[in-house]
Amino acid sequence: MAAVAARTGSAEVATRDSVADLAPFVPPDPEQVGVSRRQFFNRGIVAFFILGLSGFGAAVLAMLWPRPTEGFGAAIQIGSLAEVKDQIANNNGFLYFAEGRMWLTEYPSSAIKNAKTSYPPTQLTGMEAGVIALWQTCPHLGCRVPECVSSQWFECPCHGSQYNQVGEKQGGPAPRGMDGFAMDVTGGQLTVDTGTIIEGRPIGVDTIGQEPQGPHCVTGGAH
């Protein structure tokens, strides 16, 4: 011990007796561990419950929130069906209605039988009267889709998606046809409900069989 003291420069050297002063290891109480685990699961369940209630509350608020009475998101009275068809014809087959962010085109009566197997009644009402209302937004990445007068298709300049004159997908990366709106025709007046967006028809639906009428405005999209 003297040698150790000499090396360390201290007269105090730890001995086995001093080690005994350390607090002995006490294993955790299994019951206490179980309580902590139960608290963790209980808190997790409560958190999920609160999240669920929050989502439900948001859905209820969205349902109760008043819809717009005019402009996009509202039911828009377009006007006389006959006049709408005349305007479509006078605009090379495509009528853009800025207030509703929509395109209006004619739907051929010869294709109604095909349409009945692919379109919901909320769209068929207008289609049977000879028109279809399409949202201007490309379902691929949200670009505004313009008309192509030469091909008589809709052709997206962003990534080359192409749709026939009634919005059914013909080529490009879009996951489906152009989305549309619910329509109503009463007393010869056309109303388009832009608050009811109807998802475009799946890839492969082509009720009118329309080939391009001329050169494409966007290349690389067609099959």
pLDDT tens, position by position, 149-175: 999 999 999 999 999 999 999 999 999
6-10, 50-54, 83-87, 176-180: least confident range: 6-10
User: CB of 213 within 8 A of CB of 150?
Assistant: yes
Does residue 206 surpass a pLDDT of 50?
A: yes
Mean pLDDT of 26-51: 65
CA distance 131 to 182: 11
Please give the helix or strand (H or E) that residue 54 lies within, else none. Answer: helix 30-64
Ramachandran region, residue 181 (left: φ > 0; alpha: ψ -120 to 50; beta: rest): beta
Question: In sequence order, which residues have a C-beta less than 8 Å from that of residue 175 and are 6 or more positions away?
Answer: 139, 140, 203
**CATH 2.102.10.10 segments of the chain:** 75-198
State yes or no: pLDDT of 34 exceeds 50. Answer: yes
List, for residues 101-125, the tens digit of each pLDDT value.
999 999 999 999 999 999 999 999 9
In DSSP terms, which residues pair with 106 in a beta bridge? 131
Class of the CATH-defined domain 75-198: mainly beta
The CA distance from 100 to 54, in Å, is: 32
Checking phi first, is residue 159 left (phi over 0); if not, alpha (psi -120 to 50) or beta? alpha
CA angle, residues 156, 160, 164, in degrees to nearest 5: 60
Comparing 6 with 163, the larger pLDDT belongs to 163
Exposed/middle/buried for 157, CB within 10 Å: 0-12, 13-18, 19+? middle
Listing DSSP states for 146-185 in one string gives: PEETTTTEEE-TTT--EE-TTS-EEESS-SBS--EEEEEE
| pTM (predicted TM-score) | 0.68
| Cβ contact 202:176 at 8 Å | yes
Element (H, E) at 117: none
Residue type for 201, please?
A: R
125: number of Cβ within 10 Å: 17
